[in-house]
A = this chain, B = another copy of it.
Amino acid sequence: MTGFRAPPPLVTRSIEHHSFPSMNDISRHIDPGLIDRFAAIVGDKYALRDQQDIAPYLTERRGLWHGRTALVLRPGSVDEVSRIMQLATETGTPVVPQSGNTGLVGAQVPDTSGRQIVLSLSRLNRIREVDVLSNTATVEAGVILQTLQEAADAADRLFPLSLAAQGSCQIGGNLSSNAGGTGVLAYGNARELCLGVEVVLPTGEVFDDLRKLKKDNTGYDLKNLFIGAEGTLGVITAAVLKLFPKPKGREVAFAGLSSPEAALSLLSLAMDHAGAALTAFELIGQRPYDFTLLHAPGVVRPLSGDWPWYVLMQISSGRSAQDARTLIEEVLSAGLEQEIVGDAVIAASIAQGDAFWNFRELLPEAQKPEGASIKHDISVPVAAIPRFIEKAAGAVQSVSPGAREVCFGHMGDGNLHYNISRPIGGDDEAFLGLYHAMNKAVHDVVRSLHGSISAEHGIGQLKRDELIATAPPMAIELMRRVKTAFDPAGIMNPGKVI
């Protein structure tokens, strides 16, 4: 088993095959009697000690993080979570909460010490209530995002959080990472979708704030501290989430444009025409577009001509299918007339709309055959997107001449996944050796534009050192005070975020 490789290159590689360490090898780091005490809380069936059973909890899907543990606990109730944390506090045992294990920054993976135990929330998977009149759903941390989407749909409502991992990611992780995705433009991120939380604190005490209130000014905003804290302040066990009226019509279009400035103009135009009905505005550079045509089997070319930039735009209407159609036609007609848009296609069917989205979702995967890449998840003020793209390209070339910018993302939110593929014919390892220099170059541009080095994926292990080194010292100082105030013993997911 390889240990934690710090800093890991941000590149997708196949997970290496590891031989499983013997029980003795791991359990020497944690007292067997203590393991028994933890196991007794959940029952033997749900206390995984066999390294073959444990293995799936120790790596994440990109294979960047490899942790070790002697014990994975799978509690079946909030009370069991509470008793686990109580024992953890009593014995000073560090606990790593994990739900769907789809996070991209290593927040959900234990370190390599063998001292940390994993607390899996996946058995807390009840949808406790869907309240159609209050437009809320009360769900447990282990509910899979797609399951909740389907439950909302069945109640003629929309739960708008939507992201690539929705078939396996779970609500606890969505909240702990303040998940973003493609619906943020119209509906906000996980934080804005959450009305109340239930949290087990490091001591095992339960903070029950599971309320359905749209307005509540009774003191400090504790809820938003736990959301986005990546399990470092407590364990979110349930939440009240907002539901919305289900759109009656949805239209998806692909547009070709000459520049990011044109895309920014189209965004303004679309917001002006469609307002809150504009439910997605994704920017795609020519390179990821071409990679997808080249490497994704069976994918259909959205536009006949070639353009330097593309936009995938979605408009949803609460009124009717025809209304969505009229709106998107108006926006694109105006765009063509004002020479903002070069060419555009509106999906002729639901299937074609889904195909456009499928094209968008294949972008990251289609980058892999082009060799090693270094990725960034950045945001800047929306108006600064064109400047970012221009300045970052210069920075990238100064670090690695010939490196290829692969730029796409949620432009409506000012959020780009700005990935860099190695130069054509270049060496993967040599390029990955530039990881730090490339990060610094791109993030310096982000900082010069008052942006964020982690727009939606979080900090976890991946960006912790950089956050501490580059954030305003006062922000770090205040975060440390919060951490100490909530987790004085430092047992909640240590080594993550701060």
Residues of A within 8 A of B (CB): 131, 133-136, 177-178, 180, 184, 188-189, 191-192, 201, 205-222, 224-225, 227-229, 233, 244-245, 264, 268, 271-277, 318-319, 379-384, 410, 413-415, 450-459, 463, 467, 471-472, 474-475, 478-479, 481-486, 497-498
Shortest beta-carbon distance from A169 to chain B in Å: 15
**Identity of the chain B residue whose Cβ is nearest the Cβ of A386 in the assembled complex:** B133
Determine the chain B residues whose CB is within 8 A of the CB of A380 once the complex forms.
213
Contact of A452 among B215, B379, B451 (CB under 8 A): B215
Shortest beta-carbon distance from A188 to chain B in Å: 8
Determine the chain B residues whose CB is within 8 A of the CB of A482 once the complex forms.
220, 222, 482, 485
A213 touches B177 (CB 8 A): no
Given A319-B273, A478-B207, A486-B481 in contact, is the A379-B219 Cβ separation under 8 Å? no
**Identity of the chain B residue whose Cβ is nearest the Cβ of A222 in the assembled complex:** B478
A455 touches B213 (CB 8 A): yes
Contact of A318 among B219, B224, B274, B455 (CB under 8 A): B274
Shortest beta-carbon distance from A317 to chain B in Å: 8
In addition to A215-B413, A215-B452, A215-B455, 6 A-B residue pairs with Cβ atoms within 8 Å of each other are: A133-B383, A134-B381, A210-B450, A217-B457, A244-B275, A484-B485
A415 touches B486 (CB 8 A): no
Determine the chain B residues whose CB is within 8 A of the CB of A481 once the complex forms.
485-486
Shortest beta-carbon distance from A283 to chain B in Å: 14
B212 touches A272 (CB 8 A): no
A215 touches B415 (CB 8 A): yes
Determine the chain B residues whose CB is within 8 A of the CB of A134 once the complex forms.
381-384, 414
Contact of A184 among B215, B273, B455 (CB under 8 A): B215
B222 touches A318 (CB 8 A): no
A217 touches B459 (CB 8 A): yes
Shortest beta-carbon distance from A381 to chain B in Å: 4
A218 touches B459 (CB 8 A): yes
Closest 10 CB pairs of A and B: A275-B318, A133-B383, A276-B276, A212-B381, A481-B485, A216-B452, A215-B455, A134-B383, A221-B224, A134-B381
